[in-house]
Chains A and B, each alone.
Chain A
Amino acid sequence: MTDYTLNCRGMQCPGPIMELFKQMKAAAPGDTAAISVTDMGFKKDIEVWCRKTKNTLVSLTEDAGVITAVVRKG
């Protein structure tokens, strides 16, 4: 199991989900990626992204304008 970290702060839509998509494509099932984003739309986007791509949203937190999501492949 590998835990990836993606820093997508300052990136605008659709940058973060594109980065996450590429990372998850390269990852093995069970791997996780922690992605930090400052785009406010990401909070809603990530839930839909996980549902549509059949990945698991492990956690979603927000601190001082930074949204951090942990996503597990599969």
Chain B
Amino acid sequence: MSEDKKTIVVFSGDLDKAMAAMIIASGAAAMGNEVTLFFTFWGLNLLRRPEPVSVKKNFLEAMFGWMMPLGARRATLSKLHMGGMGTAMMKYVMKTKNVATPEALLHDAMEMGVKFIACSMSMDVMGIKPEELIDGVEIGGVATYLGSADDANVNLFI
């Protein structure tokens, strides 16, 4: 199997963009690549547990936490969301066409050995605590990402 490496910065928490990132990540893993995903800013929301976790937060952190989606299942389309109608329609179409849900794609990617790194600085800014993240996610900084990116031959920012 090939020894190539790929890295993706998952900046967006949008449903469509997250799906693209997860499909590329899983596909690369299925080509025998070592894949590292670095989740930062809105992308972090994809890694949140679907249920609220009781952690100590200050007022602003709590506000952020309340306004941002809890996990990949609640991600919305970057275009044509239309107050939820567009996203619901897209999810319906994808289901009829047997396209995996973003949370399933995320799970599959992890199962394929894709590494998930959550950006510590964004976590701090957005008030996301480690306990709020799904299992299997490591926490790292920009050096962790750059270390992986240096060794990779494909590097995407989604």
Contacts and interface: CB of A to CB of B under 8 A. Distances in A.
B158 to A, nearest CB: 16
A52 interface: yes
B108 A11 contact: no
B98 A21 contact: no
A13 B108 contact: no
Given A12-B100, A49-B31, 15 more contacts: A10-B98, A11-B98, A12-B97, A13-B23, A14-B26, A14-B27, A14-B30, A15-B100, A17-B31, A18-B27, A18-B30, A20-B30, A25-B1, A52-B2, A54-B2
Interface of A: 10-15, 17-18, 20-21, 25, 49, 52-54
Main DSSP-derived SS at the B contact region: loop
Interface in B90-121: 97-100, 108, 112
Nearest to A13: B23
Contacts, number: 41
Contacts of B52: none
B86 interface: no
Interface in B13-42: 23, 26-27, 29-32
A58 to B, nearest CB: 18
A21 B30 contact: yes
Contact of B1 (A15, A18, A20, A53): A53
Most interface-central of A11, A20, A21 (chain B CB within 10 A): A21
B29 A21 contact: yes
B93 to A, nearest CB: 12
A25 B1 CA distance: 9
Contacts of A13: 23, 27
